[in-house]
């Protein structure tokens, strides 16, 4: 486990010591066993020369959300430990087997982000969640969990946070990119369980799964650095703008019996008006083209990519920005 106060990380091969002003990369378990390869994950640690908070950045809890991995890597690569206050711990691919195989879930088919805080006697997902949560997350002060859209959907840059928690809301505002989507998160998710354990936590989501999107990677890297400025971990003369909060929002879904080939006609970030045509779903058997229209005005903050869809599938997430 990582102990930010002493700068030491313990694994099965002994103690990893990160001295003040030093950066280091290693694996958490250090095991060479068949199952250990599925549970182990990389740890990047940077210990500053001055005291400060301990920020953890996690990515690829879902293995198909590859943008998150490159954001995490760039954040760590851009940190100068000699100029850092506090400690930065980056877990660049928590679900490392899923990242290698472009698989959202773990080999036991469970969702790691519904498995926290985990159990040492459970399934593979529970064991991995326990190792991460108890060994790395519980001792930190702040957490940024990086994600993208899922299931062939893409997301406008957004920070998800429990706005009833003042510290977490301040952290979300300081990200300075995209919009804030209020919500406590589902039970078993890292963000919710970490916040309940006293770790100030937010999620950042942007872009689609499976592919790297340079613009979204740059925005995410910029946002994490903004949080580090807010926490006093790095110094900057430029104060970024604060992210705005999304008001009420809703999903526009495929009407019953109108499944088929879906083609969107708007883009992420578009401001749409009530009744505007957002896309079409065409039945490939009958050639019937069904129009999908906005039920209210708002900002498109999430949407499905072009694909075959069926009744009830969420196509567009539209909300108002306060």
pLDDT tens-digit series, residues 309-318: 999 999 999 9
pLDDT at 132 over 60: yes
pLDDT at 9 over 70: no
Q: Are residues 225 and 259 in the same domain?
A: no
The Cα–Cα gap between 59 and 68 comes to: 5
Total count of domains within the chain: 2
- CATH number of the domain to which 47 belongs: 3.40.630.10
Write down the pLDDT at residue 52.
97
Q: Are residues 183 and 250 in the same domain?
A: no
Q: Are residues 154 and 201 in the same domain?
A: yes
Write down the pLDDT at residue 11.
43
Q: Which domain holds residue 36?
A: 2-242
Residue 47: C-alpha distances to residues 29, 30, 138 (Å): 20, 21, 17
Q: Domain ends where: 242, 258, 283?
A: 242
Q: Are residues 45 and 77 in the same domain?
A: yes
Q: Looking at the whole model, is its pTM more than 0.75?
A: yes
User: For 61-93, what is each residue's pLDDT tens digit?
Assistant: 999 999 999 999 999 999 999 999 999 999 999
Write down the pLDDT at residue 29.
81
Residue 13: C-alpha distances to residues 9, 23, 30, 57, 296 (Å): 11, 19, 6, 24, 58
Write down the pLDDT at residue 229.
96
Write down the pLDDT at residue 15.
66
233: Cβ–Cβ under 8 A, 6 or more apart, which residues? 48, 52, 53, 55, 84, 85, 86, 88
Q: In DSSP terms, which residues pair with 81 in a beta bridge?
A: none
pLDDT at 36 over 80: yes
Q: Are residues 37 and 65 in the same domain?
A: yes
Write down the pLDDT at residue 321.
86
User: For 302-311, what is each residue's pLDDT tens digit?
Assistant: 999 999 999 9
Q: Are residues 20 and 146 in the same domain?
A: yes
Q: Are residues 140 and 199 in contact, defined by beta-carbon separation less than 8 angstroms?
A: yes
The Cα–Cα gap between 229 and 208 comes to: 27
Write down the pLDDT at residue 311.
98
- Could you say which DSSP state residue 5 is in? T
Q: Are residues 266 and 197 in the same domain?
A: no
Q: Are residues 277 and 220 in the same domain?
A: no
pLDDT at 13 over 50: no
Q: Are residues 167 and 253 in the same domain?
A: no
Tokens in use for 181?
Answer: 């989507």
- CATH number of the domain to which 281 belongs: 2.40.50.100
Q: Are residues 20 and 155 in contact, defined by beta-carbon separation less than 8 angstroms?
A: no
Nearest residue to 318 (alpha-carbon basis) of 258, 286, 278, 261: 278
Q: Domain ends where: 216, 242, 268?
A: 242
Q: Are residues 34 and 124 in the same domain?
A: yes
Within the chain, strands assigned E span: 2-3, 8-11, 14-17, 22-27, 42-47, 50-58, 85-91, 142-147, 153-161, 179-182, 200-207, 244-253, 260-264, 271-272, 277-282, 289-293, 298-304, 307-309, 314-321
13: Cβ–Cβ under 8 A, 6 or more apart, which residues? 30
Q: Are residues 214 and 208 in contact, defined by beta-carbon separation less than 8 angstroms?
A: no
User: For 115-124, what is each residue's pLDDT tens digit?
Assistant: 999 999 989 9
Q: In DSSP terms, which residues pair with 318 in a beta bridge?
A: 250, 300
Write down the pLDDT at residue 35.
84
Write down the pLDDT at residue 164.
96
Average pLDDT for 290-302: 97
pLDDT at 237 over 90: no
Q: Are residues 223 and 175 in contact, defined by beta-carbon separation less than 8 angstroms?
A: yes
Q: Are residues 293 and 275 in contact, defined by beta-carbon separation less than 8 angstroms?
A: yes
Length of the chain: 322
């Amino acid at each position: 486990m990582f102990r930010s106060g002493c700068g030491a990380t313990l694994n099965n091969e002994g103690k990893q010591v990160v001295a003040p002003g030093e950066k280091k990369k290693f694996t958490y378990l250090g095991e060479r066993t068949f199952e250990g390869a599925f549970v182990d994950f990389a740890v990047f640690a940077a210990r500053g020369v001055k005291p400060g908070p301990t920020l953890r950045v996690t990515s690829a809890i879902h293995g198909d959300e590859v943008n998150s991995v490159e954001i995490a890597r760039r954040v760590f690569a851009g940190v100068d430990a000699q100029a850092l206050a506090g400690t930065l711990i980056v877990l660049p691919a928590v679900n490392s087997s899923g990242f290698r195989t472009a698989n959202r879930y773990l080999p036991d088919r469970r969702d790691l982000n519904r498995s926290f805080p985990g159990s040492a006697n459970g399934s593979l997902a529970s064991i991995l969640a326990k190792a991460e949560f108890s060994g790395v997350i519980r001792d930190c002060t702040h957490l940024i969990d990086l994600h993208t859209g899922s299931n062939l959907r893409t997301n406008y840059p957004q920070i998800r946070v429990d706005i009833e928690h003042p510290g977490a809301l301040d952290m979300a505002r300081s990200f300075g990119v995209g919009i804030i989507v209020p919500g406590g998160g589902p039970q078993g998710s890292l963000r919710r369980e970490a916040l309940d354990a006293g770790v100030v936590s937010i999620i950042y989501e942007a872009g689609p799964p499976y592919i790297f999107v340079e613009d979204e990677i740059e925005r995410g890297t910029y946002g994490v650095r903004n949080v580090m400025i807010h926490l006093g971990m790095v110094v900057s003369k430029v104060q970024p703008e604060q992210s705005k909060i999304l008001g009420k929002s809703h999903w526009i879904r495929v009407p019953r019996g109108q499944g088929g080939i879906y083609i969107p006609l708007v883009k992420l970030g578009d401001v749409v008006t009530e009744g505007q045509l957002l896309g079409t779903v065409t039945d490939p058997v009958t050639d019937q083209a069904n129009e999908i229209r906005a039920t209210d005005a708002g900002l498109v903050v999430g949407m499905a990519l072009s694909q075959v869809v069926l009744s009830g599938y969420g196509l567009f997430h539209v909300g108002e920005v306060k």
